[in-house]
């Protein structure tokens, strides 16, 4: 039996989606809207440094928990990029946002790209892709710089065997670059990552491994006609810059690419002052 479809409804900071699932979002500040899409397996809280800085500087900052993550419904189905993009569209439409800057981190960059591909640019003024997965993470004959399927099979295996421990190892190692010789690990950052991951649904996060690794966003990126900022660390051990940031910059005509030397995947935290300054200059420009 198919799920019932109803008109999306807003109740405080919860949006009831057309399929009956609920999406939590936070809405800070006033001014021209900036909408943030988080990475895997995190939630809207992962954007707090950027949201605080930009809201303090006269912008309305909105970030949602993707379905299956954080405080949103843990739906059994719909954990795919098309559905995530449609959920984002429902939020933007329900809040009647216009002249939006869309900012996507990691998997969230894929959600943003697929939104543009499926819903166009009529409400969008700018896009920023931060450590983002587009155009394609998986290594194929046409994408030789991608990662082999064995990498993602390993993530799946780790998630099934001991999801909590897998998140701890991801946070203590490649995500923040804490496995590098000169790194200064933050116990708080690692616990913060783990807490967000464990709030997400097991089924949702498992399905998302396929969604973020095997979805090809090439055609979505070709539809980008708005000013686009691409930020990537050249020491990203999770989403390698060659198949991601550098490739996206070639596909998006007129985009601005900023490479952070030595920066890891989780640069929204490790390089937050630098990123905040670049995002502010971008949205003010």
Residue keyed to tokens 């939020």: 91
End-to-end alpha-carbon separation of the chain, Å?
49
**Separation of alpha carbons 106 and 232, rounded Å:** 10
**Does residue 182 carry a catalytic annotation?**
no
Catalytic residue among 213, 265, 269, 278: 265
**Separation of alpha carbons 138 and 192, rounded Å:** 28
Residue keyed to tokens 């995530």: 84
Catalytic residue among 106, 159, 248, 255: 106
Residue keyed to tokens 């640019």: 121
**Separation of alpha carbons 150 and 103, rounded Å:** 29
CA angle, 230 as apex, 172 and 106 as ends, to 5°? Answer: 35
DSSP 37-98: E--TT--GGGGHHHHHHHHHTTEEEEEE--TTSTTS---SS--SHHHHHHHHHHHHHHTT--
**Separation of alpha carbons 10 and 29, rounded Å:** 18
**Does residue 106 carry a catalytic annotation?**
yes
Catalytic residue among 65, 86, 87, 236: 236
Do 264 and 177 meet the contact criterion of CB atoms below 8 Å apart? yes
CA angle, 7 as apex, 126 and 220 as ends, to 5°? Answer: 30
| CA-wise closest residue to 17 among 5, 26, 28, 8 | 8
Do 43 and 66 meet the contact criterion of CB atoms below 8 Å apart? yes
Identify the helix (H) or strand (E) that includes residue 197.
helix 187-199
Catalytic residue positions, numbered: 106, 236, 265
């Amino acid at each position: 039996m198919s799920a019932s479809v109803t008109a999306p409804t807003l109740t405080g900071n919860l949006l009831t989606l057309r399929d009956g699932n609920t999406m939590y979002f936070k809405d800070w500040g006033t001014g021209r809207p900036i909408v943030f899409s988080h990475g895997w397996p995190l939630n809207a809280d992962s954007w707090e440094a950027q949201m605080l800085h930009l809201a303090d500087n006269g912008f309305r900052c909105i970030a949602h928990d993707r379905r299956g993550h954080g405080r949103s419904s843990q739906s059994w189905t719909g954990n795919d990029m098309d559905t995530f993009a449609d959920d984002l569209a429902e939020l933007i439409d329900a809040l009647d946002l216009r002249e939006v800057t869309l900012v996507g981190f990691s998997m969230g960059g894929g959600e943003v790209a697929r939104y543009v591909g499926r819903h166009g640019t009529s409400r969008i003024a700018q896009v920023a892709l931060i450590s983002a997965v587009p155009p394609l993470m998986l290594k194929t004959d046409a994408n030789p710089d991608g990662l082999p399927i064995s990498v993602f099979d390993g993530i799946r295996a780790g998630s099934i065997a001991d999801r909590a421990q897998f998140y701890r190892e991801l946070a203590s190692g490649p995500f923040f670059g804490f496995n590098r010789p000169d790194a200064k690990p933050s116990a708080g950052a690692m616990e913060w990552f783990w807490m967000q991951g464990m709030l997400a649904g097991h089924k949702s996060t498992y399905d998302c491994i396929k969604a973020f690794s095997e979805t090809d966003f090439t055609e979505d990126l070709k539809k980008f006609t708005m000013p686009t900022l691409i930020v990537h660390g050249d020491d990203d051990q999770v989403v390698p810059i060659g198949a991601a940031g550098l490739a996206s910059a070639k596909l998006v005509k007129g985009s601005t690419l900023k490479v952070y030397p030595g920066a890891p995947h989780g640069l929204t935290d490790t390089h937050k002052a630098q990123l905040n300054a670049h995002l502010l200059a971008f949205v003010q420009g």
